[in-house]
């Protein structure tokens, strides 16, 4: 018979999810995923649905980083600099949402769903910019390493 006292892998994943969402980084990434999903729905319902690609890309990238950090895969795959990759993802997300949101809000052909997507996009811009700032502070505080010696002598 199977041992019922041991935890299943699904329970371990659910437990990691609960724990990680309570952290600051997990909360920010969950907020980015949720806002991107809301923006995706708004852009898809508007007449100018071409901006849905931006929301899809940002949501997928946020989900990937959420899973990587939640499952602590960043420690297993050390060949990728996850901190700099996350900084690049968050900075690009802030810029993309800022541009698309301004276009949607200021367009004279905008409908209600497009304007709502633009407003949520401006909120997402602030969240992505805050994420970029916190990652930058983390890189700055961790970059106090001493450089390796380039001296040829042994």
Give CA separation, 26 vs 70, 123, 133, in Å.
Answer: 8, 18, 15
- Written as six digits, the tokens of 127 are 């969240």
Residue 48 DSSP class:
-
Residue 5 is assigned to a structural domain of this protein: no
1 has a pLDDT exceeding 50: no
- Quick: pLDDT tens for 95-110: 999 999 999 898 877 7
Residue 70 DSSP class:
H
- Written as six digits, the tokens of 100 are 């698309």
Question: Can you give the residue range of the structural domain that contains 59?
Answer: 22-140
Residue 9 is assigned to a structural domain of this protein: no
Contact 70/17 with Cβ under 8 angstroms?
Answer: yes
Residue 4 is assigned to a structural domain of this protein: no
Q: Give Cα 88 distance to the centre of its chain.
A: 10
Residue 92 is assigned to a structural domain of this protein: yes
- Quick: pLDDT tens for 59-86: 999 999 999 999 988 889 889 898 999 9
Count up the domains in the chain and report the number: 1
Residue 2 is assigned to a structural domain of this protein: no
Residue 147 is assigned to a structural domain of this protein: no
């Amino acid at each position: 018979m199977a041992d019922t006292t041991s935890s299943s892998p699904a329970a371990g994943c659910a437990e990691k999810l609960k724990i990680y969402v309570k952290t600051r980084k997990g909360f920010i990434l969950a907020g980015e995923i949720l806002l991107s999903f809301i923006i995706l729905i708004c852009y898809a319902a508007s007449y100018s649905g071409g901006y849905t690609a931006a929301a899809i890309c940002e949501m997928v990238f946020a989900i990937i980083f959420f899973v990587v950090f939640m499952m602590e895969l960043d420690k297993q795959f050390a060949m990728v600099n996850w901190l700099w990759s996350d900084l690049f993802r968050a900075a690009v997300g802030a810029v993309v949402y800022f541009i698309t949101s301004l276009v949607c809000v200021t367009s004279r052909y905008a409908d209600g769903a497009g304007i709502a997507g633009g407003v949520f996009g401006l909120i997402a811009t602030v969240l992505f910019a805050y994420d970029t700032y916190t990652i930058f502070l983390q890189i700055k505080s961790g970059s106090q390493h001493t450089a390796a010696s380039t001296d040829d002598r042994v």
